[in-house]
Structure 1
Amino acid sequence: MKNYPAYLQDLMREYPQVKNSEISGRYLNLDHIGPVLETLSGYYTIEKIGKSAMGEPISIVKFGTGKTKIFAWSQMHGNETTTTKAVFDLLNAFQRKEEFPVLKEILEKCQIWIIPMLNPDGGRSYTRANANNVDLNRDAQNLEEVESRILREQFDKFSPDFCFNLHDQRTIFTAGTAPKPATLSFLTPAMEEQRQIFPSRKKSMKLIAAMAADLKEELPGQIGRYDDAFNLNCTGDTFQSQEVPTILFEAGHYPGDYQREITRKYVFAALVAALHHISSSDYLIFDYHDYGKLPENQKFFNDIVLKNVKLSDEEIYDVAIQYREELKNGEIIFTPVVEKIGEKMKKYGLREIDCEKEFALQEGEDRLAENVVVNKIILNGREIDLKPD
């Protein structure tokens, strides 16, 4: 735990006991979190604040007695579940506040409202959009969807001092151009087209700089900065434009962790870090320019890259393969699909296989082709499974 700052070390040492073992994997719907919310009702104020388009209940968890108000929501996109898992880890941790001074201070100085699953219909179908096929993160102005209106109603009712917009991002992202995945990425959304830095936005920049400083030794080269192109239809941009410092959390890939059980730990650490720096107000001492020094996310990864593949007697190519996530029988299946075949592609593979200019064929000994599923390849007479471990 020596890579964490002092205030986090004891808590992260205890993380295996703090982690909510009832919730795991990539697929989460209300059947998974509903019973857990019931068990937490003795510790927190939990209210049903509305129903989704398909009539599923949407709940909010409230705790803390302080003056600084923090509003967070997760699973706005139904297939982005890592931050939801981290939220429940956080709720487990706060039950042990007497053991950890950092948590006790947060509860004394902050009020926190969290919507653990804003889009339960998307959660059930494992889709980004809601049941009406609307991306809720593009509905902040029109408020056409009931889930968007529920979020806005709670924002207006609470009048928060900070907002945390909790998401997942795909495995394709690097933190900058180096061959390292962006395990965590942050964004302070722009407030207007020119993306100027007004005082309220500067606060969120300082807070991100503080979080990144606390986690950089645990995640060297794996903390990125998300693109801040302005879109007022996005929830973060809308709330930021109202001078409420807003931070987008993006949970990304950690090597070998397709279930995002390692990433959830780092999201948990980032949430505690953010709450600590807000409650102590020491984020204000950080240089907001350090936010801009974080490497911007780039799309340089594929799940698998086959290097130096012979496709005919004269053709040597690289083959980029990306997993398609599919919900089957209550589980997320990762199906390898050939995305692109090209010469010496400038892409990294989370898994790279050097075919050494040998023929690589699909199962059935068919030639590899773009946009086809390929669970295994046959290389030099041996089968290589392409599914994640």
Structure 2
Amino acid sequence: MNYLQLHEQNKEQSLFGRYITLNHIEPLLEKYNAAIIGKSVLDKPIYTLQFGSGKVKILMWSQMHGNESTTTKGLFDYINFLNSNTKESERILSKFTFCIIPMLNPDGAELYTRENANAVDLNRDSQNLSQPESIVLRKTFEEFQPHYCYNLHDQRTIFGVADSGKPATVSFLAPAFNESRDVNDVRIKAMNVIVAMNDVLQQYIPNQIGRFDDSFNINCIGDTFQYLKVPTILFEAGHFPNDYEREETRKYIFIALFSGIEFLSENDIVISKIDDYLKIPQNKVVFYDFVYKNVKINYDNKEKIINFAAQYKEVLNKNKVQFEARITQIENLDSFFGHVVIDANGEQFSSEETDFPKIDQKANFYLGKSKKVVNGLIIN
């Protein structure tokens, strides 16, 4: 099966980039007859979509963190497939019933923040249920009684696949259900789906799939639902080279959704694939957006050669996310990689502010007399 062609056929063209709000998706919600199931802190509607009539029920939610929009795009691409009136989509709809909350945190989405309007991380509120959005998700879970849960997120560009030097473009987790991180039949079901998705994704982004840390935290929604004996799968949409708008990554979220559900449609017997699951390398914080090597500086009247790194800060400006590169780390980069690596070859650092890099300084400087760096990148 040509998954990339399938994605192109079903890609939701109205959604693009990192800033996805309720205003962007409401025409799609109307198109697919979404229902309002609650309100946010700022009284914005929280919608649900239901498709299919099958026995196996799957609950999915995205943008629990408002600034994590890649999975929302991939989710609407998959929703378009479900409504494509093809033999394949009709077969899936006959086997599954989907309950989808495309944007759990509409306030955070508009503000482009991780938290909701009360500055609460909804993914740490599964026990207190202190926020209206948390209550909506828990009520939907209890009323829908899913057989599987899909917890859809983004992760930062800092994550790589172990020490491979490859970015973690997509990462998964079958969350723990207790402190000792035991494995039971419920968790095995989630692991098996992840293995199936990994097998397919390796054909498209080899060595760019990670396994998220499974430390137990009952306040996290995935851990809670796994504890309540419902197989839960965490999706983390990460970085693909030069894809800061996450338009490439959305393809692989679509492929993961498609291939995982295809696996569930064809497999009823639970055969443990825990060994294959554990072979997926763990996520690790090993990347900066920019690494600058062999840079000469003059510090205390002494010349020395240093390395330093810069990271993009995401800033919402006039309804668009801008990426501002700022110096993040000086030296101590031996175990880190850069999505962009610039070797100064001993050229002298200089800037309008200082003669040496400082933490949180904008990455605008010169290397020697001929190399001008603007917002992290050499422009001449």
Q: 1:71 aligned to 2:63?
A: no
Q: 1: distance between equivalents of 2:211 and 2:223?
A: 16
The answer on whether the counterparts of 1:172 and 1:302 sit within 8 Å (CA) in structure 2 is yes
With over 3 angstroms needed to count, the CA separation of the structure-2 counterparts of 1:263 and 1:385, relative to structure 1, is: same
Q: 1:327 aligned to 2:336?
A: no
2:20 aligned residue (15, 28, 39): 28
1:318 aligned residue (294, 307, 312): 307
Q: 2: distance between equivalents of 1:238 and 1:206?
A: 19
The answer on whether the counterparts of 1:207 and 1:283 sit within 8 Å (CA) in structure 2 is no
CA deviation after TM superposition for structure 1 residue 362, in Å = 2.8
Give every structure 1 segment of 4 or more consecutive aligned residues whose post-TM-superposition deviation is greater than 3 Å.
282-286, 363-366, 375-380, 386-389
The answer on whether the counterparts of 2:363 and 2:376 sit within 8 Å (CA) in structure 1 is no
What one-letter code is carried by the residue in structure 1 that aligns with 2:241?
A: P
Matched with 1:259 is: 245
TM alignment of 1:23-172, pairs within 5 A: 23-41=15-33, 46-98=34-86, 101=88, 103-172=89-158
Q: Extract unaligned runs of 5+ from structure 2.
A: none
TM alignment of 1:345-364, pairs within 5 A: 345-363=334-352
The answer on whether the counterparts of 2:171 and 2:209 sit within 8 Å (CA) in structure 1 is yes
Matched with 1:373 is: 362
The answer on whether the counterparts of 1:334 and 1:387 sit within 8 Å (CA) in structure 2 is no
Q: Extract unaligned runs of 5+ from structure 1.
A: 1-5
CA deviation after TM superposition for structure 1 residue 343, in Å = 5.3
Deviations 1:203-254 (CA, angstroms, capped at 9, x unpaired)? 1111111110111121111000000000000000000001100000000000
The answer on whether the counterparts of 2:19 and 2:319 sit within 8 Å (CA) in structure 1 is yes
Q: 2: distance between equivalents of 1:236 and 1:144?
A: 17
CA deviation after TM superposition for structure 1 residue 175, in Å = 0.9
With over 3 angstroms needed to count, the CA separation of the structure-2 counterparts of 1:284 and 1:47, relative to structure 1, is: same
Matched with 1:173 is: 159
Q: 2: distance between equivalents of 1:386 and 1:71?
A: 41
Q: 1: distance between equivalents of 2:162 and 2:127?
A: 32
Q: Could you tell me the TM-score, scaled by structure 2's length? A: 0.95
Matched with 1:3 is: none
The answer on whether the counterparts of 1:50 and 1:57 sit within 8 Å (CA) in structure 2 is yes
Q: Could you tell me the TM-score, scaled by structure 1's length? A: 0.93
The answer on whether the counterparts of 1:66 and 1:107 sit within 8 Å (CA) in structure 2 is yes
- Aligned-residue Cα RMSD (Å) equals 1.7
With over 3 angstroms needed to count, the CA separation of the structure-2 counterparts of 1:132 and 1:32, relative to structure 1, is: same
Counting aligned pairs with the same residue, the percent is: 45
Q: 2: distance between equivalents of 1:283 and 1:187?
A: 21
The answer on whether the counterparts of 1:303 and 1:321 sit within 8 Å (CA) in structure 2 is yes
Count matched residues: 375
